[in-house]
Amino acid sequence: MTKPMTGKVTLVSGGPTIASELLQRHIQTLVNDNARWQTLIADDILWVLPYAPAIGHPARLSGREEVVHHVTWFVGAVENFRFFDIKVYAFTDPEAAVAEFKAEGRIKPTGRIYLQDYVLFLRAAGGKIAFLREYFNPVRAAEALDTPIIGLKS
């Protein structure tokens, strides 16, 4: 299996802050070095995924155990996964940042290519990732996972 890769990260606005640095490390390590990624998250992390229920996934992951469980599933379901066109925006508040980026990889159970656009908000506390809000296109995820969109009328 080819080692996943992550593209160059561009800090678009502001100087480096704790939040922009954590956001960059989140993107660089989530799939590539998950053990290292786990050191970045707070024990009481909250990860909000407003569009995930459309594909049968939870809208909120609360606490280290739930978050690590979900990420472990994701990392196991993809191969040759990479993030690219990564733009990180630092805010005036050093504990908040946002990124927009793309990702691609193959979903192992279906063999389908997953191509996605993301927007991810991060809030840091105590030098750790305390909050994430992730937006993605659930239709693209459903197609790659070969799963229906919940609530979609045909």
pTM: 0.90
Dihedral angle over CA of 78, 75, 37, 1, nearest 10:
-60
Task: Report yes or no: 40 and 128 within 8 Å, Cβ to Cβ.
Answer: yes
Name the residue with tokens 């379901």.
Answer: 77
Q: How far apart are CA 112 and CA 109, in angstroms?
A: 8
Query: For residue 3, what pLDDT is reported?
Result: 44
Here the tokens at position 71 are 């990420």
Q: What is the pLDDT of residue 95?
A: 98
| 126, two tokens | 């105590």
Q: What is the pLDDT of residue 67?
A: 98
Could you give the CA distance from residue 107 to residue 112 in angstroms, rounded to a whole number?
5
CA distances from 112 to 78, 107, 138 (A): 10, 5, 15
pLDDT at 5: 52
Of 146, 140, 147, give the one whose Cα is nearest residue 114. Answer: 140
Ranges of residues in the chain whose predicted pLDDT is under 70:
1-9, 11, 154
Q: What is the pLDDT of residue 114?
A: 97
Q: Which two tokens stand for residue 11?
A: 């800090």
pLDDT score for 153: 73
pLDDT at 99: 97
Q: What is the pLDDT of residue 6?
A: 64
8-145 classified as CATH 3.10.450.50: yes
Q: Rounded to whole angstroms, how far apart are CA atoms 152 and 42?
A: 35
> Where does the chain have alpha helices with state H?
18-29, 34-38, 63-77, 138-145
